[in-house]
Amino acid sequence: MLPPLSLRTRRVVGCRQPGPCPSPAMAAMLEQRAALSRRHLKNPMQTRIDRRFQELARQGRAALLTFVMAGDPDLAASLAILKALPKAGADVIELGMPFTDPMADGPPVQAAGLRALAAGTTLAKTLKLVAEFREADRATPLVLMGYYNPVYVYGVERFLREAKAAGVDGLIIVDLPPEEDAELCLPALEAGLNFIRLATPTTDDARLPAVLAHTSGFLYYVSITGITGAAAPQIAKVASAVMRIKTKTTLPVAVGFGVKNAESAAAIATHADGVVVGSALVEALRQSLDRSGRATDKSVEAVTSLVASIAKGVRAAAAAPA
């Protein structure tokens, strides 16, 4: 990877730091990326994600964001689930890009990724899945969530071009820190995609500005320290964290990791702009599979019935008196 953007930019200007000066071609590329950063901050884009959060804010309720793994347990079943999520109550869909070595996923999501890979799911097939979903649904925001390695191997320019064409609205790339924004974040913004960053309980006020710098669409607040689905969030701590973050940004804040049912979703929805549920959905899907791990006639309903229940919890929080 290239060194952090801030360091690379300082080296271009006068080349005062130790080490070799960049070539003219490299200097031109760095200046172009720095200009892109300035341009984005001056003229932020409007996306399906932005419009959905604005619409729900006018309704006075939080968004329900649902995570499922692309190709789990196979591409046909995965597409059926995707198509059914909005009617079940999903406001935004997060679609996992299966990867062999995840760093933040708990056992249910890891298992979902392995099932998808075993079924032959690739990044190209994931993008095709999005395109097929978009044939019938042009309104629901869809975010790809995963890790940088598959994107890097696929090729950043090709990935962004095909993702945009397929109908992807945003990206969550768990293992790319702000120091590496030039790798994917800034090119994604240039391509018209939101780049959604994660904040955690350990993201203090010194670190938060870097996390927020190029984040768009919404900020994903990880409610626990640990992997997905590992523990239940402590609502008082989540409320305090969300309040602190919202003093630093006008972005919607969505809270995930540990949301399992309507009750926990409703509790978070009273404090956040969005509630993310993932591990509970992929586990519900797993329990619907046959002994060979294949989809059954109960698989779609297993996911959508849980989504519908959690959606009622989110909407109940909006209806409850303050």
Point out the residues that are catalytic: 94, 105
Give, in order, the Cα–Cα distances in Å from 279 to each of 69, 111, 201, 228. 10, 10, 19, 7
CA angle 226, 223, 52 (to 5 degrees): 130
Distance between CA 146 and CA 99 in Å, rounded? 7
Q: Which two tokens stand for residue 161?
A: 């071009």
8 Å CB contact between 254 and 42 = no
Nearest of 49, 43, 39 to residue 186 by alpha carbon: 39
8 Å CB contact between 148 and 102 = no
Task: Return the bridge partners of 222, or none.
Answer: 256
- Give the distance, in angstroms, between the CA of residue 264 and the centroid of all CA atoms in the same chain: 20
Between helix 279-288 and helix 299-319 the angle, nearest 10°, is: 150
8 Å CB contact between 171 and 143 = yes
Helix (H, G, I), strand (E, B) or coil at 220: strand
**Pairs from 210-215 (Cβ < 8 Å, separation ≥ 24):** 210/178, 210/179, 211/178, 212/248, 212/249, 212/251, 213/178, 213/181, 214/37, 214/40, 214/178, 214/181, 214/185, 214/186, 214/189, 215/249, 215/251
Distance between CA 146 and CA 96 in Å, rounded? 6
